[in-house]
Structures are given as structure tokens and as C-alpha cells.
Homo-oligomer: A and B are copies of this chain.
Amino acid sequence: MFELMIPLDTGSKKPLYEQIYDYIRRNITDGKISRGEKLPSTRLLAGNLQISRSTVESAYEQLLSEGYIESKRGSGYYVGDISELYFCSRFAGQKTEKKKTAGFRTKEAFLDREKYRIVFSPEENEFAYFPYNAWRRITREVLAADDPSLFLTGEAAGEMELREAVCSYLYRARGVNCDPKQMIVGAGNEYLLMLLVQILGGKRKVAAENPTYLKAYRTLLNMGCEMVPVRMDKSGICMEDIKEKNPEIVYVMPSHQFPMGTVMPMKRRLELLQWAKERQGRYIIEDDHDSEFRYRGKPVPSLQGSDAGGTVIYIGTFSKSISPSIRVSYMVLPETLLDAYDANCGFYAPTVPKEQQKVLAAFLNQGCFERYLNKMRRIYKTKRDVFLALLKKESWVRTIYGDGAGMHLLVELKTEKSGTQVVREAEAKGIRVYDLEEYRILDSGKQENRFPTLLLGYGALSEEEMREGISCLREIVSIQSEHTISGRFG
């Protein structure tokens, strides 16, 4: 057992238990205290620090609830396995940066909720655990400050305090290397893509994985880009296809492809980066859309972090990690595009209210975001484990994949019915499931022959709802409809 010399500031506004919590957490994440090390007992630490034991207990409880430490009955507290936790050491270097990945997004703009009892949505998340009190408190503080600058136009690219907080978060969590001046904050990924096309001086030829995140695809199409769908293999986007179709820009989700869940291995990443470097004006848009919740496997840092050529444009969002109603996304530009940003888009007013930018910056800086993510990762992992266990019992399930991260997985069905038909029959029973084909770019040349595959989101569902939905699918998939039979032979 090591000794803890915690410098306490009794004059600080920060409560003592929080100072203790912060100190220990920082020492764990920085690697100064390692996994398995025993912490001093609450009684001992309280005595050493000359404070009350309940203060130490509060700090330990917080660390426990977030998984930084573990309690062994009758034995005490030990440093937990933080490789499972969201944040890794600042000093561990990029290659070993903590990875996060996940997967969801649909093309469904609105969901008629009254039509459905259960929605296996890849877009919705669980918000019952959101630290609403902290959010409210920070909002009150921001508004109470009577800060006259709240009324002035903010910086076009976003408030510097928010950009700094996000950069620091991205560096720690995703291995993204950037200076705050490379970052543009905007009201959603689609808005940032609109800006990006303007930064690049107008329409370009853009390749995208097929299937892909259709909102991004459609945005680029709306902006006049020529869109080229590209096949995927087990490592992600096919390099041969890219070389053959010769786009200027490639839009990819290397850390966790939506909807397929593919994680692009380092070899393919290097090939892609090499392709971009070969000709000037080539760029890779890395949409790191849901990198917060990963349940197994080694962490994969961002593609941007491996990019020595300044060819990666990195895009991410808080809409997934906090809530879809938070419309804050960020784009990291390579240095070479900063002049073009200033010239073409520097005159645009910011699109995220200054008030919300300040609230979000404080939410990040006070560690609320990190604590929330750590808590939610455990909750989503439990949901996923329950969902997987339920699905594995089902005889109509051929294969399950894409379940290593995020809040949805893919299920190949043993059925004569088409995916569309299963979706339609489920709809009639008040259950919304998603056919993988819904995410395919339609004008794609080759149609691959696949088993009907459903995309099932579980982030917002209770175990009860999962059971009910699965039992419904069992009926649909197992019982041949007359329509199907006549359809097959008619």
C-alpha cells in the first residue's frame, strides 16, 4: 500500500472530498498509482489528513461509482482496471490512447412515436442518468455571472474556452493532435459539412463507404458534391475502389463504421493516409461520430492522430454522448485549410449560442462530462450484455456483429422473408426495427447478396422492452406468412 500525500486547500471553494477525489483520480489516470494497488483505509487517510472520515468516504464512493477503484469486502479499496475506463493517461502517448467507439445514426428524421410501443432506435440514448443537477447548476452560474460579453457576438469558430476544453478532451480521449485554432464549433455535423464544402471552395468528388451514414451523404450531395459509393470489406473501405473511382475526398468512419461496426485496422489506415498524401488537394473526412462507448478490444486512436500529412479533417459531436438535443459538433481542420476557412467562412457568425458554449465548457472542465461517460459506459455495457444474452437464445438469429461498441448491433436473420418485410410486419405490431438496407446508398453499382440483416439499437430500452421486442421478432421471423409463400412461388 502506498501513502497518499494529498495537498488540501481548506480555503478553496472546492469541497475537500472533491479535492481528494480529483487528486486520486488524476494519479490513477496519470499512471502514478497502478491497477491493483491498495488505497489507505478511510480511517487512516482521514487521520493523516486530519479531516473527518466521512469526507474521505465521500471521495472513495465517487471513485468507486466511476470505476476508478474497487472495493474488496473486508480487505479495502484497490485501484481498478482503468483500461476499461474512458480516459487514459495523458502521458501514455497516442498509440496506447484509450479508444472509444460505438455506432448509431439513422436516416429517420422524425419518428412517429405514437405508432410504436418499442423502438430499437440507434439514435436514442438513455438520459435518465444525465447529471441534470450539475447542468442546471452550471447554467445558473453562467447566467448569474451577469457577464456582458454574453450579449456580444462570439467568435465565429466558437468560444476559445470551449475549443480549448474540447481539444484537451480529444487529445486525451481520442489521440487527436490539434491546436484550438484548428477547431470550428458548429450546430451539428451537417452544418459543419456545409461549411467544409465552402472551405474547400465548392463541390468536390467525394467517396463514401456503402452503407454509410446517409445524413452526411445527403448533405454533401445537397452541397453539389459528386458522391461515389465505395465497397467495404472486413477492414473497411476498399482501397482498390478508391483508386479506381479516383475521388478528391474520402468520407470515412474508421473507429466504428456506421452502420457496419467495422473498426479499420492500422494497415488500412496507413494505406488510406498514404493515398491522401499522394496528391495535393486530397482529404479524408474522419467522422468519429460515436467514439464514447466501447466494450471490448484494444483502443484505437483517431485516424487524425496518425496523420502526418495534414490530410485529415476530423469531425465529432456531443449530440451522441450527451443528448441528441445538444446541437454541438466540432471540426478539426488541418493547418493548411485554416486560411481557406478564414477567407471563405470567417465572416459567419457562430451557430451555437454563447451561453450553451460556456455551459458545455464548464461541464467539460469540471469533469462532469468524463464522470458521466464513465457511468454511461457501464450502463450501456450492461444493457448490451443483457441484450446479447437474450438474442443468443433465439434460433432465428444467424449471426450477431457490430456489438463491440455503441448502442446498436446487427443481427443476420434465418428467414425467407426480406428485411423490408420483417420491418413492415414489426411495424404492424408496434415495434420499430431497422433494415440494414435502409442505410445503403441506392445507386450503388453492385448489389451484394446478403442475409436479411436488422440493425437493433438498445441504448434507450429496458430489459422488459428488449424481451418484448425480441419475442415479437421471433413470431415474425419464425412464422412463414402466406404472402411470402405466394410471393416466392407466384
Is the C-beta of A135 less than 8 angstroms from some C-beta in chain B?
Answer: yes
**CB atoms of B151 and A323 under 8 A apart:** yes
The residue that A352 contacts in the complex, of B132, B327, B346, with Cβ under 8 A, is B327
Q: How many angstroms from the CA of A350 to the CA of B132 in the assembled complex?
A: 22
Number of interface residues of A (CB under 8 A): 57
**CB atoms of B324 and A151 under 8 A apart:** yes
Q: How many angstroms from the CA of A152 to the CA of B326 in the assembled complex?
A: 9
User: With A123-B153, A191-B187 given, is the CB distance from A353 to B324 under 8 Å?
Assistant: no
User: With A349-B319, A353-B325 given, is the CB distance from A151 to B127 under 8 Å?
Assistant: yes
**CB atoms of A346 and B109 under 8 A apart:** yes
The residue that A350 contacts in the complex, of B327, B349, B354, with Cβ under 8 A, is B327
8 Å CB interface, A180-208 against B: 187-188, 190-191, 194, 198, 202-203
User: With A148-B127, A191-B191 given, is the CB distance from A153 to B325 under 8 Å?
Assistant: yes
Q: Closest CB of chain B to A419's CB: distance in Å?
A: 21
| Binary interface encoding of chain A residues 344-372 relative to chain B, with 1 for a CB under 8 A from any of its CBs, else 0 | 11111111111110000000000000000
**CB atoms of A325 and B198 under 8 A apart:** no
**CB atoms of A353 and B351 under 8 A apart:** no
Give the chain B neighbours of A143 by CB distance below 8 A: 132, 135-136, 139
Q: How many angstroms from the CA of A350 to the CA of B349 in the assembled complex?
A: 17
Is the C-beta of A224 less than 8 angstroms from some C-beta in chain B?
Answer: yes
Q: Closest CB of chain B to A97's CB: distance in Å?
A: 29
Main secondary structure of the interface of A (DSSP, over half): loop
**CB atoms of A349 and B188 under 8 A apart:** yes
| Binary interface encoding of chain A residues 133-164 relative to chain B, with 1 for a CB under 8 A from any of its CBs, else 0 | 00110011001101010111111100000000
8 Å CB interface, A115-129 against B: 123-124, 127
Give the chain B neighbours of A135 by CB distance below 8 A: 143
**CB atoms of A327 and B347 under 8 A apart:** no
Is the C-beta of A110 less than 8 angstroms from some C-beta in chain B?
Answer: yes
Is the C-beta of A215 less than 8 angstroms from some C-beta in chain B?
Answer: yes
Give the chain B neighbours of A327 by CB distance below 8 A: 187, 349-353
Give the chain B neighbours of A355 by CB distance below 8 A: 325, 356
Smallest CB-CB A-B distances: 5 pairs: A187-B351, A127-B151, A153-B324, A151-B323, A325-B354
13 more A-B residue pairs beyond the given contacts A109-B349, A151-B325, with a C-beta to C-beta distance below 8 A? A109-B347, A130-B151, A139-B139, A187-B351, A198-B223, A215-B349, A219-B348, A222-B345, A224-B224, A327-B350, A327-B352, A351-B351, A353-B353
Give me 10 A-to-B residue pairs in the complex whose CB atoms sit less than 8 angstroms apart, sorted by A's number. Answer: A109-B348, A132-B143, A136-B143, A152-B323, A152-B325, A198-B222, A202-B222, A214-B347, A325-B354, A327-B350
